[in-house]
Amino acid sequence: MQWQNKLPLIAILRGITPAEAHDHVAAVIEAGFEAVEIPLNSPEWRTSIPAMVKAFGDKALIGAGTVLKPELVDELAQMGCRLIVTPNIQPEVIRRAVGYGMSVCPGCATATEAFNAIDAGAQALKIFPSSAFGTDYIKALKAVLPPEIPVFAVGGVTPQNLAQWLQAGCIGAGLGGDLYRAGQPLSRTVEQAEAFVKAYREAVQ
């Protein structure tokens, strides 16, 4: 996915169930999100992900997170998944996903991991967990990374501090617990999705 002229925020719906998925995914897309990740440690993801691809694949990049093995990429490709997010650098996962034409955003912490991911074909990077490293760390890492590689902050990003991560050089962020926690009411998802979109637009205007 080319993030230019897009809303570079990824909704991470960890723990969502098939029964809840449609309403919550619809809510974040309605708020303006264009990328949604259902992590593979969510209940019955093999039901949720293909259903969301079918329902919303023409409106947003629907994908999977916490993808740890290449064979899972094969399975997700068959479901029509278009986004692969990982918490770590597993070069074969990245290569497999790129081979399917998917957008890949692997998680890294160090310059070595970042360049290993880029060498494997990653089109974007997520710095995880961002809150443990801070904005100064990201600024330093960005100084050595290719400028065309988008960097996302993931972990500890809130509507209140989103602008700080953007100022540090991140193009956007992956939003987990402050956007969605398993079992929360739909009204909370709507409220937080709108708050994140508003915070992003105010930060970049």
CATH of the domain at 24: 3.20.20.70
Active site residues: 37, 126
Share of the chain above pLDDT 70, in %: 98
Mean pLDDT value across the chain = 96
Q: Which residue has the tokens 């996915």?
A: 1
For residue 3, being part of any structural domain is answered with no
Q: What is this structure's pTM?
A: 0.96
pLDDT digits (tens, 9 = 90+) for 117-147: 999 999 999 999 999 999 999 999 999 999 9
Confidence of residue 6 (pLDDT cuts 50, 70, 90): confident
pLDDT at 175: 98
For residue 160, being part of any structural domain is answered with yes
pLDDT at 181: 98
Nearest CA to 138 out of 114, 159, 121, 158 is that of 114
Task: Return all residues near 67 (Cβ < 8 A) that are at least 6 apart.
Answer: 40, 73, 76, 84, 85, 86, 93, 97
For residue 180, being part of any structural domain is answered with yes
Is 5 buried (19+), middle (13-18) or exposed (0-12) by CB count in 10 A? exposed
Domain that holds residue 23: 9-204
**Mean pLDDT across 45-58:** 98
Confidence of residue 64 (pLDDT cuts 50, 70, 90): very high
For residue 126, being part of any structural domain is answered with yes
For residue 2, being part of any structural domain is answered with no
**Mean pLDDT across 61-84:** 98
**Mean pLDDT across 149-163:** 97
For residue 144, being part of any structural domain is answered with yes
For residue 200, being part of any structural domain is answered with yes
For residue 1, being part of any structural domain is answered with no
Pairing of strands 151-154, 61-65: unpaired
pLDDT at 2: 61
Q: Say how many domains are in the chain.
A: 1
pLDDT digits (tens, 9 = 90+) for 162-196: 999 999 999 999 999 999 999 999 999 999 999 99
Share of the chain above pLDDT 90, in %: 97
pLDDT at 5: 58
Does the pLDDT of residue 1 top 70, yes or no? no
pLDDT digits (tens, 9 = 90+) for 88-107: 999 999 999 999 999 999 99
Contact 35, 18 (CB under 8 A): no
**Mean pLDDT across 32-37:** 97
Please list, residue by residue across 12-27, b when 16 or more beta carbons sit within 10 angstroms of its beta carbon and e when fewer do: bbbbbbbebbeebbbb
Does the pLDDT of residue 4 top 60, yes or no? no
